[in-house]
Amino acid sequence: MEEQAKKPVILSAIQPSGTINIGIYSGALRNWAALQDTYDCLYGVVDMHTITVRQEPAVLRRRTLDNVAMYIACGIDPEKNTIFIQSQVPQHAELAWVLNCFTGMGECSRMTQFKDKSAQHAENINVGLFAYPVLMAADILLYQTDLVPVGADQKQHLELARNLAERFNFHYSPTFTVPEVFIPPVGAKIMSLQEPTKKMSKSDPNEKANINLSDSDDVIINKIKRAVTDSGTDIKFDESRPGVANLITLYSIATGKTFKEIEAHFDGKGYGDFKKETGEAVAEFIKPIRTRFEEIRADQTYLETVLKRGGEAARGRARKTLSKVYKKVGFVQF
């Protein structure tokens, strides 16, 4: 345990707001599995963030457990990592309240995600959506996190977490580790099959746009067969032809071949052959992940064991930080 404590702490999490797709695998889950032997990793399912947008309760519960099962199916070992559900660690919300009292209105109102989501959900611009980045800061600071893997869309939120840590430390003496951005090896960026200029998104209402890790072989093959390409005929990786470039990227992930090798393989062949082979390769690649996911998801007792243990470990660490915070701000504790 002493050796584990010396490893830098990494925290990363995904909202259960949709089904995990191959883009999330490439950009996040594959990297998470690669980090688990070198770092002290906490991997969360952040269900509290998800309810800033209205959710159907039964669907949210199902997706939360789906996420956990998929983490494990993608190689994230619950024996090596802390896997937890955010709402099962009440200290997230408790620390968020304290940090809310150190956050300026202007800091939250400037967040680009708040502006974007307010535009998307104009009928439900709630306080939770406004304060979402403060809860994210609590998620990070609660575990004395050293490194946070973030995409470009979350860098602003990490900057707020750093500012809040420094502000609290300045007023009350060192309490929080100031987290740094962690830049993992760049995963291939996977685009929508139907709008290849847009990133593949788990919340895309068009089911044909995504390749989910839980999709059957036939579904994957059919989605790729119907993927948008362009009016050209040659199969070359060219960012000005995003549909073809996206399918080449998917073929590369599935087979491990370079773009040059793929171009040579399909030289003189048409889109029909290209899409057929890409669909089959991606289906073959995803099959063992899906099979493992289905086994784990069907074993409710195992999932509960993993989550009870992960929740207990997360709460133990979280309590230590929150106790320091409460003492420093002047709350009575016995």
Is 202 marked active-site? yes
Pick the closest to residue 86 from 307, 325, 322 (CA basis): 307
First to last CA, the chain: 28
Q: Is residue 117 annotated as a catalytic residue, yes or no?
A: yes
Residue 199 falls in the annotated catalytic set: yes
Catalytic residue among 80, 189, 199, 324: 199
What whole-number distance in Å separates Cα of residue 48 and Cα of residue 147?
A: 22
> Are 188 and 259 spatial neighbours (Cβ–Cβ below 8 Å)?
no
Sign of CA dihedral 115, 116, 122, 127: negative
Start-end of H helices in 101-173: 105-109, 112-120, 127-141, 155-172
Cα dihedral value 148, 19, 56, 100, nearest 10: 10
Q: Which one from 189, 202, 225, 236 is the annotated catalytic residue?
A: 202
Q: Reading across the β-sheet that carries 82-85, which strands appear in turn?
A: 82-85, 40-45, 9-14, 147-149, 180-182
Active site positions, annotated: 117, 199, 202
